[in-house]
A and B are shown apart, each in its own frame.
Chain A
Amino acid sequence: MTYPNTAVVDFINKYFVPLQVNLQSDSNLPARHRVFWTPTIVILDTDGIEYYRFYGFLPPDEFIPQLQFGLARMALEKQNFRQAIIELNGIVDKHPKSDIAPEAQYWLAVSEYKSTHNVDILLGAWRKLKKDYPNSIWAKKVSFVKD
């Protein structure tokens, strides 16, 4: 199970204020967030604005990087690229085999470029994406980059 896992509990307690909502209750939250299936995990900022969601059961070694990716997407969309780099590096360094890692590497390249405006950094990080995750859809998105 995911929630009894100590690493999952520690991650949630460190970075989130968690709320559980029964889809069958009379809460208006499922409708407000257009939830039609469970489990649905939704990540919002302190103003209640949604930035990321994912569906279905995941084991801890996929669940934690998904949560961290949610924090990264929030930082990206708020254009806090320094924070995005921290979160995305956390995923590719600590969870390089997770399914979200290739996408994290893609956006890490973008975040580093946005921070530095250095095209060489962008292309270098995308080359790493092609090398480390050649079969991912994210490698296809940067297939135009020459090796």
Chain B
Amino acid sequence: MLKHNKLYLSALAMSLILVIAAEARGASPTITWGKDFEEVTKEAKASGKQILIDFFVPT
């Protein structure tokens, strides 16, 4: 019985690892949008990157 439980737990742990690994592989890069112009300007000056503003309305 104990041996059976150990096998079951091992299989469960392995399944979880595989699921997490699959999700990590499939994870897409995302854009982290700033919300505050002053903060974005500070970050742009520090990084040397330019500023992109996307004006939108929620759909």
Task: Please report A residues at the B interface, Cβ cutoff 8 Å.
Answer: 3-4, 6, 9-10, 12-13, 15-24, 27, 29-30, 33, 35, 38-48, 67, 70-71, 74
Contacts and interface: CB of A to CB of B under 8 A. Distances in A.
A95 B22 CA distance: 33
Contacts of B35: 19-20
Given A30-B55, A33-B55, A19 B33 contact: yes
A47 to B, nearest CB: 8
Contacts, number: 113
B5 interface: no
Nearest to B40: A19
B28 A9 contact: yes
Given A6-B29, A10-B29, A48-B41, A17 B56 contact: no
A18 to B, nearest CB: 5
A20 B50 contact: no
Contacts of B36: 19
A18 B56 contact: no
Contact of A21 (B30, B31, B47, B53): B53
A18 B54 contact: yes
B55 A23 contact: yes
B54 A23 contact: no
